[in-house]
Amino acid sequence: MFVEEILARNRAYVLGRAPRPLAPPSQIDLAVITCYDPRLDELLHPALGLEEGKAFLIRTAGAHVEAGGDPLRSLALAVYLFGVRQVAVVGHAGCRMAAFDTAAFIDAFRRRGVPREAFGPADLRAWAGALPDPRRGVLASVAAIRATPFLPRDLSVCGLILDESSGALEMTQAPDQAVPEGAAVLPPPAGPEPEPAVKTGRGAPPPRPAASAAVSASAAVRPADASPGLEPARSLVRILAASAGWGRDFKRLREELARDAGPLTRLQDLERFIQKAAADSKDVAQALDRLRRETRATGRLSDAPALLELLWRSIREAQP
Ligand SMILES: [Zn+2]
């Protein structure tokens, strides 16, 4: 396991090091808010001419600061407890948050068993802090910091862009330069959120009960049992289980699904089975139609992966 390697390296480190307590905390004038990209690690201190330990380095994806977001909490503490008076937001020219791929993001979390609902009702690009481009990202962060009511008016905030290749900094927002109104809000996405489909190799594993419960509690979306389409999904599962022609096959499928650790394979098997059963049985076809109708009407579960998630959930619930 990786932590064993860390501990082994740490033992070697400690062996060759004389104990040295941390220096007492001192006044620190500067906070730098920059991107979490690890490729910047070796660049940041030399490019900004920062001595180790002489500035707060607050790192967050895309150097993006959103009203009320965590970087502001850290920044306020640094201002009031350590005396920070100057803030530099440092974006970088090749920031990957300006190339944020919503479909790839959805694909990735679904493959890890997390449903879209776990991210709450907000647009995913907004949730992630995706940038239209690095310059506008820096401007938005500067505007958000300046508009924060719990930060002092005399805090100096500027925006910079780092060219990773040359190491050069360019000032995009001077400390005394006004930001345009509304700059703190990044523009909305160009189109609707993509919905990856099972057949193109993108999977939708069943939702994790913990995540669903957390969403219901925090975003007050709905109680877990009132998921749209859950009742028609249960009804379809009951018909499959009770069907003379499909009952035994369904029992076998259920056992196979429970054994199969790969969510994508599981959903593909499930989809194949339901389609076969619907082609063979009028009752199954009607129950599937009803499920599609009811989930489509809510506008939330119109895609195949979400439907299959719901079915998988109903199958697990129905297990003896
Ligand atoms: Zn970045």
Q: What is the pLDDT of residues 112-169, one digit of tens each?
A: 999 999 999 888 998 999 999 999 999 999 999 999 999 999 999 999 999 999 999 9
Question: What is the Å distance from ligand 1's center to 215 Cα?
Answer: 28
Question: What is the Å distance from ligand 1's center to 51 Cα?
Answer: 22
Question: What is the Å distance from ligand 1's center to 168 Cα?
Answer: 16
Structure tokens that stand for 247 in this block: 């009952």
Question: What is the Å distance from ligand 1's center to 130 Cα?
Answer: 10
Written as one letter, the residue type at 273 is F
Contact present, 106 and 196 (Cβ < 8 Å)? yes
> Which DSSP letter does residue 213 get?
H
**pLDDT the model gives residue 228:** 65
**pLDDT the model gives residue 216:** 32
Contact present, 66 and 100 (Cβ < 8 Å)? no
Nearest residue to 40 (alpha-carbon basis) of 200, 161, 208, 219: 161
**pLDDT the model gives residue 306:** 67
Question: What is the Å distance from ligand 1's center to 308 Cα?
Answer: 35
Contact present, 161 and 170 (Cβ < 8 Å)? yes
Handedness of CA 199, 203, 209, 212 (dihedral sign): negative
Question: What is the Å distance from ligand 1's center to 177 Cα?
Answer: 24
**pLDDT the model gives residue 261:** 58
Question: What is the Å distance from ligand 1's center to 202 Cα?
Answer: 26
**pLDDT the model gives residue 193:** 72
**pLDDT the model gives residue 171:** 97
Question: What is the Å distance from ligand 1's center to 154 Cα?
Answer: 28
* Rg of the chain taking only CA atoms, in angstroms: 26
Ranges of residues in the chain with a pLDDT under 70 are 187-192, 194-228, 244, 260-264, 296-306, 319-320
- At residue 212, the 3 state secondary structure works out as helix
Query: pLDDT tens digit string along 6-22?
Result: 999 999 999 989 999 99
Contact present, 84 and 56 (Cβ < 8 Å)? yes
Residues in the chain: 320
CA atoms within 13 A on the CB side of 273: 26
**pLDDT the model gives residue 214:** 34
Question: What is the Å distance from ligand 1's center to 90 Cα?
Answer: 10
Question: What is the Å distance from ligand 1's center to 103 Cα?
Answer: 19
Structure tokens that stand for 266 in this block: 């599981």
The position carrying tokens 């104990």 is 19
Question: What is the Å distance from ligand 1's center to 62 Cα?
Answer: 4
Domains and CATH numbers, the chain: 28-95+131-173 (3.40.1050.10), 198-318 (no CATH)
Structure tokens that stand for 187 in this block: 């523009």
- Give the rounded distance of the alpha carbon of 124 from its chain centre: 7
Written as one letter, the residue type at 45 is H
Question: What is the Å distance from ligand 1's center to 125 Cα?
Answer: 15
Contact present, 28 and 55 (Cβ < 8 Å)? yes
**pLDDT the model gives residue 223:** 35
